[in-house]
Amino acid sequence: MKRYDKRMLLLVILGVMLLSAKSIWLDPVKPENEDIRRYSQYAVLAAPFHDGEVPPPSGLYTYRTVNVVQRSEEGKTIIVQVDPSTNRLTEVTLQGEYQAKVRAYILYVLPVKHITLEGGVTDHGNTSQD
């Protein structure tokens, strides 16, 4: 292998390592309070259906919430979350209006899609879009 080839290989390996660190440790949202944590979890559950795609069963395609913003303190947002004791979906009402950005990853590190969710579940069980 020539000297130039070794440098390029080293740069590619360094780039993959930096992308992996960014995707795993810097991208996921760090919740400030319980409501933001709940909405973050809801966003990860709703993103595949909001986008019109369901992740393949192989587990190579994952979703992570990268940003959650409380747009307004007025109003209410109804979301669903998994109840750990029964493993069933339950409705939860949060005070205020929320917006989340979810990023889809292949192999946990390569970002391929950005999805923005606003609001919560409507009366018909579908995620709402503003």
Concatenating the DSSP letter of every residue in 61-92 gives: EEEEEEEEEEEEEEEEEEEEEEETTTTEEEEE
Alpha-carbon separation of residue 34 from 31, 38, 43, 79, 90 (angstroms)? 7, 6, 14, 13, 16
| Full pLDDT tens readout for the chain, 130 residues | 789 999 999 999 999 999 888 888 887 888 888 888 999 989 988 887 776 666 554 677 888 899 999 888 888 888 988 888 888 888 888 888 999 999 888 888 888 888 898 888 764 444 444 4
| Domain locations along the chain | 28-118
